[in-house]
Structure 1
């Protein structure tokens, strides 16, 4: 069976262009597309059959929910009172509901609008369940078919000239408590276990392979290991080892493909008639630098890759491949070391080849007036050093750290918004957008959260501070993201 899955790199190189890290990232997140967060589209979510509540553990506010009532009306007037009951009774209906959402929330028109707004990068939040073989269908219930929508969306982005980061946003077992962004709002955090680390590594091997071998994935230039893990490092045992294993899985797949990786582990010889999955099995068994966990993850990825090759109808992957492969290795990416506290591991220690670091900043507490907000963001412009940015990782945190001290460079601000602790005027939001862009472009660039949110009566004025495309329409964001409305926006705030 494994020998059915081959790769024609000559073919792939003839039709695709290698994606790479832009000189400066001007990006947006495609949030609530393949990993839905109900607060961003309340009207659609309730229409789909979900619920809204202040405590997301007490209602159906995420894609997986196992204990509390989930009321969904069907065409024959029946209701089902749990996600698991509904999914098991009507799996085709569940998949159809989400497929409709996936098709409408991000499509060709959105890709066009982003390109016209000058966006060059998107970060795509994904759940582990997009690789359906990783889901334990006895206890975990997610909609199916997302991989086809990802493939469709990546092609549309590629055609629009936009490169992509695959962000592992919802990890198996959940990496952070009580957040809908994990795909399951629960106080039980179980990602940091051997079983779920292993599933995440298999996911990584599959996504790395698709990023190099599927032409529709050719605009992918990076994979992010874990979005926003639990911040207290004492609660994330084994996370440092996982970081190293994550990078080794990516690089082992690339070595198998004959990609030049700066990792002296073996003088692998790949023949013109080599079969990819067979070669991956050989690499997993023979590369001396791989530990048992990395070997096991690579081997467990092989049958999944075989099935995906058939499912995605990758007919052009039926030939031998050449070891003279000119693609560049993917960037690996992690939240920076300062995301965690209590003696966290340093992701720099995991680095093999190109890597960048992610940080997120939302003004959700602390200063509550215009002057304080502008003083805070503009004062940070003085704290940029040669290779890093000195920045408070959330206004509520009591410390400033320099990522460059820990080798965490380059830094991309992968999530930020126009949120404030007061109701801002339009005049202030012009300044607020400019000041944050000015600060974040001192690093490798920025990725706004989100590309859009729902505009509806139920959503109220949410789009004003959370939608990039709405911000462009209102003039808060310049149509050329490298420009500012006022290049001197911080002059009066810097002492």
Structure 2
């Protein structure tokens, strides 16, 4: 059976793969946070209704997907299926289209590739891949491109954070075992992005969301960055997708050629970690293909079109300190960089309107990154949140000023597209929800426009 399934890959490679979108000339985006990686602070009432809990220390109660799946092993899949269906669906896509969004960043956990989960010690819901496929199809049909963001890494990449899927101080991502699992995940998601037509709006894969900032605590991360890019390009070469790093195209006439290309990937890379990741990814990809009913895909293609290579993406070099590795050293093919900026967590500017505006209007992150080869730069997370009670008038200026600063780079992706609207969530959406921000008039309905193009004139130093 597997040989026949491998052979069907060759049929796909010799036929059309739906036209792939590219990185927009300017990114105007939102994150689809709390969809496939749930952060319970963003839907407090919904989380309690699901059976979760709230606590000050998220490691001490049922506040994350890991804790929930461990507490409710018999019902977790059904409960999360309802969440995935309701939190992001066609109605939300329609709302994004209405406000001109052209890009989404989709936070994903490693557990969406279910074979990577050690079910004896790791606990997560199953079935998310089907909702990812459904959501990508809806976004593709709407003309919105997608970035697959590896948001929650195997072993946990940052302590005490809901966004890792498990609140814990036991950070184990920066080990050979978990680097390998992340590379296998990368190989699978790269192949899916090129083979499944519902994934054809995927333009990029981001390697790691928000690693620990202190680079002395992330041993091996620089080497992982290089391996990540090599895995993406090796998969693309195997699929006949080429760039200046490639060699002559496979004829695609014999299934054994494809299998041999994967199993003996030394023809592309002599790196044993890359070879091992590709070999371990292949049976997982076969299983996912069967689950997603790829046997019917060949009927969807009609004409020959060349796919473009995906962008690889990393948090920029200035995300870390203490002599971090430069992700530009890993680049082979199209690549962009990600920076996150939240003023509400402190350490950026004094907590008043004047200091905030002076800071954002004189921001030099695009220039600082470019000087180190980290360009183009997308601001992949930001919000309207502040450390002080902000007036509506200020939030209009605050939105304009941030957009003005971030579009000096390749664009921006707001966190988040929405949050829960409930009595328990209070006014959470006022500064965390892009759609609510548009409704309130903080954001111009056209994301490329500002209310006041001179918003920074009085603050530039």
Superposition TM-score, scaled by structure 1 size: 0.88
8 Å CA contact retained: 2:269, 2:275: no
* In structure 1, C-alpha distance between the alignment counterparts of 2:194 and 2:213, rounded to whole Å: 32
Query: Shift in Å at residue 276 of structure 1?
Result: 7.8
Which secondary structure does the structure 2 equivalent of 1:61 belong to? coil
Alignment correspondent of 2:48: 46
The 5 A counterparts of 1:351-366 are 351-363=331-343, 364-365=345-346, 366=349
**Residues 235-279 of structure 1: per-residue CA shift (max 9 Å, x gap):** 111111110100000000100111112215x54533333468514
Q: Which runs of 5+ in 2 are unaligned?
A: none
8 Å CA contact retained: 1:331, 1:354: yes
* In structure 2, C-alpha distance between the alignment counterparts of 1:330 and 1:288, rounded to whole Å: 17
Runs of 4+ in 1 over 4 A off after TM superposition: none
8 Å CA contact retained: 2:263, 2:278: no
RMSD of equivalent CA atoms: 1.8
Alignment correspondent of 2:39: 37
- The 1:423/1:218 distance shift into structure 2, 3 A limit, reads same
* In structure 1, C-alpha distance between the alignment counterparts of 2:223 and 2:175, rounded to whole Å: 11
Alignment correspondent of 1:298: 278
Aligned residues: 452
The 5 A counterparts of 1:84-483 are 84=70, 86-87=72-73, 90=74, 93-264=75-246, 266-267=247-248, 269-274=250-255, 278-284=259-265, 286-287=266-267, 289-317=269-297, 326-363=306-343, 364-365=345-346, 366-380=349-363, 383=364, 389-390=366-367, 402-483=368-449
Alignment correspondent of 1:494: 460
8 Å CA contact retained: 2:151, 2:209: yes
8 Å CA contact retained: 1:28, 1:448: yes
Query: Shift in Å at residue 456 of structure 1?
Result: 0.5
* In structure 2, C-alpha distance between the alignment counterparts of 1:416 and 1:19, rounded to whole Å: 25
8 Å CA contact retained: 1:233, 1:341: yes
8 Å CA contact retained: 1:258, 1:325: no
Which secondary structure does the structure 2 equivalent of 1:316 belong to? helix
Superposition TM-score, scaled by structure 2 size: 0.95
**Residues 295-337 of structure 1: per-residue CA shift (max 9 Å, x gap):** 0000000100111111000123569x9xx86111000000001
* In structure 2, C-alpha distance between the alignment counterparts of 1:453 and 1:126, rounded to whole Å: 18
